[in-house]
Chain A
Amino acid sequence: MLLRSVDIRQFRNIAQAHLDCSSQLTLVVGKNAQGKTNALDAIHIALQGKSFRNSPELEWFSFVDPDVIAITASLDNGQGRLSSIEHRVMANPHKRIHRGPKIPVVVFSPQDLALSKGSPSDRRRFLDQTISLMNARYDRALKQFQHAVLQRNRALKEPRLSHIVDSFNPALVSYGTYVWQTRQEFVLTLLSQANVSYRRISNGESLGGHLQYGGCQSPIASEAEYLTVLEQRRTDERLRMMTLVGPHRDDLALDIGGRSVSLYASQGQHRLVSLSLKLATFHLLQEEFGEPPVILLDDVLSELDSDRRGELLRMISQKDQQTIVTDTEARNYEYLSPMIYHVDNGSFTKWGQDHA
């Protein structure tokens, strides 16, 4: 699947833009705070229906004309058959329309550092988003589970309702166990792939890890087991007035050569760990869909030394790899003869037509 072009209207600082996409590398160049990342985010919204920065929809509206956002993308199935995706958000009344398929995409951005350095919730969000790309049922089960947690927590907080807490246990346990099983399976393949990437970009160190089950000493294999642990924490839960056992408290525990990443890793190691997780995601998606996902690179090269830069550049220069990159300068990419857009205060101009 090839992204041909994207049209953006009234999205944050972009009043109107048309971007043709090269089948390989498209480069958006501009100074800071001109709209580079906004363009990338708009493309992500077209492909996935949501922002990669996790910004809420209400922050998407244009600074000038906050009425209707329209992002449309034109796709080519590789044999010249065209189709399109349309994403619209209306301000008043607040409404959203998304028409078209979801296209697998991997974003590399400076925020990825949170995968290694951030909180457990950053890692959970990463796991959930990636699994959802490959498994639509997971998303539904996760939402049901989260809903059960909310209901149950509310009941735990209100003395008047404390006698109905247990009524939500079966839902909690059945959806929760499914979420755990799916995460566990995914984490195993993710980490073995991430280890391969990590060995290559570090100096042969090995990256390990496991899914740390929320509120449990050891992995939970069945609904019955979940229920048992839940029962054991009963008094605790009533004291602290929240659900203490479940995937909503998971963490992805990582280690380098056996030493915990969150405790001992250096800034440089954090960077490599998060990059490896993203590279692994890319490979897993490629395997799952039989073609490489679209890559969005948000200003990441500047943060990497030349070796790791080479690793990323090698990946995006592969045949059939479609990539959209933002950077403050074009220098690093010239040998890939990209299609270049220059962005200045939210407006885009195509550069060097001959490159296309």
Chain B
Amino acid sequence: MLYPTPIQDLVNELAKLPGVGPKTAQRLAFFLLNMPKGEAELLSSAIVAARNRIRYCSVCFNFTDQDPCAICRHPSRDAKIIMVVEQPKDVVAMEKTREFKGRYHVLHGAISPMEGIGPEDLKVKELLGRIERESPVEIVLATSSNLEGEATALYLGRLLKPMGLTVTRIARGLPMGGDLDYTDEVTLSKALEGRQEI
């Protein structure tokens, strides 16, 4: 079945979104068409506004609408400690804990040779420049604990250690509430490695 061109265009554009297949795209398109006109316009202008106003923070490379971003400008955030994360969403996740009072640096990815991503494709050079300018005392490596995240942390650790600052890696091991005998051997051995005195 062929739709009038404007509908077909809308369906095609929606189908480009992650997790949206042709069927879902159709459903969304008809939902949008049945919406009150004002609401549909709110959505479209929200997309345009976000696209136009959001850019990278020139300091930490998180998404922001003002440069530098709110965290980098905040007077009570400790500039002496920088946490390195893969994605902007990781900043949000960490902020929800309200535990971390330092600042962030967003790499925008992790090392993955299979996808052709090396350190040069991440915001590593920018991190080095920042360390030179701001001379922090500690870098916290908070990349994911998957293969690529671990490799990235290891690479950065080797790179930063000689610069004479403390480089730490967030702990890996048992999840809170996790059962010991449901944990795989490799995770378990990492948890043992990272044991702490109580």
Q: A154 → chain B, closest Cβ, in Å? A: 4
Q: Kindly state whether residue A175 has any CB partner on chain B within 8 Å.
A: yes
Interface centre among B114, B119, B189 (most CB of A within 10 A): B114
Chain B residue with the shortest CB-CB distance to A147: B147
- Size of the chain A interface, CB-CB below 8 angstroms: 24
Interface residues of B in 86-128 (CB under 8 A from A): 111-114, 116, 118-120
Q: Evaluate contact between A164 and B185: CB separation under 8 angstroms.
A: no
Q: How far is the CA of A141 from the CA of B158 in the complex (A)?
A: 26
Chain B residue with the shortest CB-CB distance to A175: B186
Q: Evaluate contact between B150 and A154: CB separation under 8 angstroms.
A: no
Q: Evaluate contact between B186 and A167: CB separation under 8 angstroms.
A: no
Pick out which of these stretches binds chain B: A31-39, A155-163, A288-296, A344-352: A155-163
A167 touching B154 in the complex, CB below 8 Å, given contacts A144-B147, A154-B113, A174-B186: yes
Chain B residue with the shortest CB-CB distance to A148: B147
Chain A residue with the shortest CB-CB distance to B190: A174
Q: Evaluate contact between B148 and A151: CB separation under 8 angstroms.
A: yes
Q: How far is the CA of A342 from the CA of B114 in the complex (A)?
A: 49
Chain B residue with the shortest CB-CB distance to A153: B113
Chain A residue with the shortest CB-CB distance to B148: A151
Interface centre among A93, A155, A164 (most CB of B within 10 A): A164
At the interface, is chain B mostly helix, strand, loop or mixed? Answer: helix
Q: Kindly state whether residue B152 has any CB partner on chain A within 8 Å.
A: yes
Q: Evaluate contact between A171 and B184: CB separation under 8 angstroms.
A: no
Chain A residue with the shortest CB-CB distance to B21: A93
- Residues of chain A within 8 A (CB-CB) of B120 are 160
Q: Evaluate contact between B118 and A170: CB separation under 8 angstroms.
A: no
Q: Evaluate contact between B21 and A167: CB separation under 8 angstroms.
A: no
A164 touching B21 in the complex, CB below 8 Å, given contacts A141-B184, A178-B185: no
Q: B101 → chain A, closest Cβ, in Å? A: 29
Q: B182 → chain A, closest Cβ, in Å? A: 10
Q: Kindly state whether residue B151 has any CB partner on chain A within 8 Å.
A: yes
A164 touching B186 in the complex, CB below 8 Å, given contacts A171-B150, A171-B151: no
- Residues of chain B within 8 A (CB-CB) of A144 are 147, 186
Q: Evaluate contact between B152 and A167: CB separation under 8 angstroms.
A: yes
Q: Kindly state whether residue B155 has any CB partner on chain A within 8 Å.
A: yes
Q: Kindly state whether residue A264 has any CB partner on chain B within 8 Å.
A: no
- Residues of chain A within 8 A (CB-CB) of B118 are 160-161, 164
A164 touching B111 in the complex, CB below 8 Å, given contacts A140-B184, A151-B148, A151-B151: yes
Q: Evaluate contact between B155 and A164: CB separation under 8 angstroms.
A: yes
Q: Evaluate contact between A170 and B148: CB separation under 8 angstroms.
A: no
Top-10 shortest CB links A-B: A154-B113, A167-B151, A155-B113, A167-B155, A167-B154, A137-B184, A161-B118, A154-B114, A161-B113, A168-B151
B interface with A by C-beta (< 8 Å):
21, 111-114, 116, 118-120, 147-148, 150-152, 154-155, 158, 184-186, 189-190
Besides the contacts A151-B148, A174-B186, what 5 more A-B pairs have beta carbons closer than 8 Å?
Answer: A151-B114, A160-B118, A160-B120, A167-B111, A167-B155
